[in-house]
């Protein structure tokens, strides 16, 4: 039962217990959840639970396959030295390692100015100096070989280093690798021409005229003319010295385009009868590499006739040869 007294603006509740409510002491403060009391303390029920102090390791990031792990490339050059005007082959080996099961493989390179693409290698074509070789579909774990051909240009500088770098793509994987460097050889093309009589009377000297020319592209060092055959060089010619069954005649160095001529006189060895053919062989040699030795040599055949006053045949015209360009 609730009674009220009106007076001086006050209302008094006389009920001792109001629906089971608990009386609040004077000066008490009811804090809401999560709110601080006036004295600065938190209600225990409103405090958040403390976090456990643990040091969790970060999750490892997924490893990405590197380019080198997906495909490998091995290269081989034709040799340490190459000769201008000749064609060589550069070879390579490609191995597919993963992670794909299969993918298309292509080899690509760009040739330096000292090389020109030469057809002949399977699957290879060029556009300008860019070369591309189709290696086909390659399965994981397989190794394929390939090659491209190139010609050393004639104006390549002697001593120049030729460097080639190739790249192979296999699917999205890519690897680039350099071929071993090669050097342009210092080469000189020597050409030997000769003039000698086709017949000579017994007891007379045979005149041999030997001319050697250097077609380049480099200077020729220590040029000599070597001879073999049953003859004996006579006179005071100090350029030739005996060696074995022949002679070595010194010419000296020859610059590109330069030539030199030797006039040599010789007689057959021993007592040669009329009708005998004296055959001699001559060869131009140099300390510089000669890429074309097919034009370095000459063979001379001279038939011995009867002495003067005999009834032997008339001497034939002198045999000559022209240098081969």
Model confidence pLDDT, tens digit, residues 113-131: 999 999 999 999 999 999 9
Helix (H) or strand (E) holding 168: strand 165-170
Helix (H) or strand (E) holding 69: helix 67-70
Distance between first and last Cα of the chain: 141
Cα atoms in the 13 Å half-sphere on the side-chain side of 90: 33
What is the topology classification, in CATH, of domain 67-184?
A: Immunoglobulin-like (2.60.40)
Identical fold, 67-184 and 188-320: yes
Note whether 262 and 197 are within 8 A (CB): no
CATH no., domain 188-320: 2.60.40.1510
Q: What is the pLDDT of residues 138-187, one digit of tens each?
A: 999 999 999 999 999 988 998 999 999 999 999 889 999 999 999 999 99
Domain borders along the chain are 67-184, 188-320
For residue 94, what pLDDT is reported? 94
- What pTM was computed for the model? 0.59
């Amino acid at each position: 039962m609730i009674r009220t007294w009106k007076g001086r603006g006050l209302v008094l509740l006389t009920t001792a217990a109001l629906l089971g409510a608990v009386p609040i002491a004077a000066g008490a403060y009811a804090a809401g959840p999560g709110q601080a009391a006036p004295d600065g303390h938190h209600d225990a029920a409103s405090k958040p639970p403390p976090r456990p102090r643990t040091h969790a390791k970060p999750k490892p990031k997924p490893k990405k396959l590197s380019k080198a792990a997906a495909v490998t490339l091995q290269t081989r050059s034709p040799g340490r030295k190459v000769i201008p005007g000749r064609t060589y082959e550069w070879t390579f080996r490609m191995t597919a390692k993963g992670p794909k099961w299969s993918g298309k493989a292509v080899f690509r390179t760009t040739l330096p100015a000292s090389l020109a693409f030469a057809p002949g290698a399977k699957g290879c074509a060029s556009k300008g100096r860019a070369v591309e070789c189709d290696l086909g579909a390659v399965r994981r774990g397989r190794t394929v070989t390939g090659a491209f051909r190139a010609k050393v240009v004639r104006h390549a500088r002697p001593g120049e280093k030729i460097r080639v770098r190739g790249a192979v793509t296999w699917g999205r994987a890519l690897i680039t690798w350099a071929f071993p460097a090669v050097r342009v050889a210092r080469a000189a093309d020597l050409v030997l021409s000769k003039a000698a009589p086709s017949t000579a009377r017994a007891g007379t000297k045979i005149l041999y005229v030997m001319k050697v020319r250097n077609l380049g592209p480099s200077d020729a060092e220590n040029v000599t003319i070597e001879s073999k055959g049953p003859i004996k060089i006579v006179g005071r010619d100090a350029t030739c010295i005996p060696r074995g069954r022949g002679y070595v005649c010194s010419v000296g160095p020859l610059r590109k385009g330069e030539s030199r001529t030797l006039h040599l006189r010789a007689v057959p060895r021993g007592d040669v009868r009329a009708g005998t053919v004296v055959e001699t062989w001559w060869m131009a040699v140099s300390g510089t590499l000669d890429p074309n030795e097919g034009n370095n040599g000459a063979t001379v055949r001279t038939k011995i006739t009867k002495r003067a006053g005999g009834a032997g045949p008339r001497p034939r015209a002198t045999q000559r040869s022209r240098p081969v360009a």
